[in-house]
Structure 1
């Protein structure tokens, strides 16, 4: 969807780039972490922390809560490492599943939706005028996304903001690739109905 791609730079924030692992590197760190190697797990943390934080932040929209939940994601992952079996999927698959469950728990405990007017304000180096324009569009899109049901929110964030593949999203959501494609299509159709014409392709 063109409008979402246009503003993904704002959602991504001004984070320093993170070098992705090769499949061999990731497998090595996972296997070592499963043996209790905290340094190997630290490498996985460094690789995926920003990605998971961003996903959680877009779901809860407050930095403090996003930081707390992200911390808990990695704590839970570390506790699960000795039982974790590497299947060739990115380690982020486990992290996203934990994050999704923690966000659900967060809203259950809170018993109230985060205000839809709360704007995500990730740091940016854009010029002020550009930043204001992007913020306004971002608020509209994220306000609309937060009106969608959780599965729709997840697939849109993962596909268009995190740029995960259909295969990766399928592994995270525990669905077939075909089911993810259908879910994405339905989410996009619903989102288009919630957005003004200026933000739809």
Structure 2
């Protein structure tokens, strides 16, 4: 959830929520994307905070009662082992699950080897269950025995017929595209964008 989402959940305009509640909230609920401009928070932790519940939740069948909130019930990070199958992962986090580079994740998404992902808050996310299913699939070719994650030899195989080329060729019939346009659209580097654009121009 963004802070806009949280403010909406409390029934307040975001500027009012930030003035009255943001400081206390940020000391109790950690962001899931430290260092990024758009603060994002785990929805389950947000809901627990807004409902005045402890985190992580205590199972109903546990003997010990939930302690009163003394200001120390919340962790400064998601506890180990608390991952949820529906957690939305960035390309970098998905890459960590698969043991590959984030650029390879984006390449897989364009070739269909990995689902296209979910567009939210201006970026693409992959549910944890999707990344783990790809990792655990028997036909995986993103890892090579004996090679460490990040090894340049672990790059995604280039498709024989790159579907991006045809798409770019079609787009160029509508408006002129620059290398920067291609790089931004497909999340690739400048050299790859140049190669794709050059190949597309030979088809127009």
Superposition TM-score tier, normalisation by shorter sequence? under 0.3
More strand by share: 2
Scaled by the length of structure 2, the TM-score of the pair is: 0.22
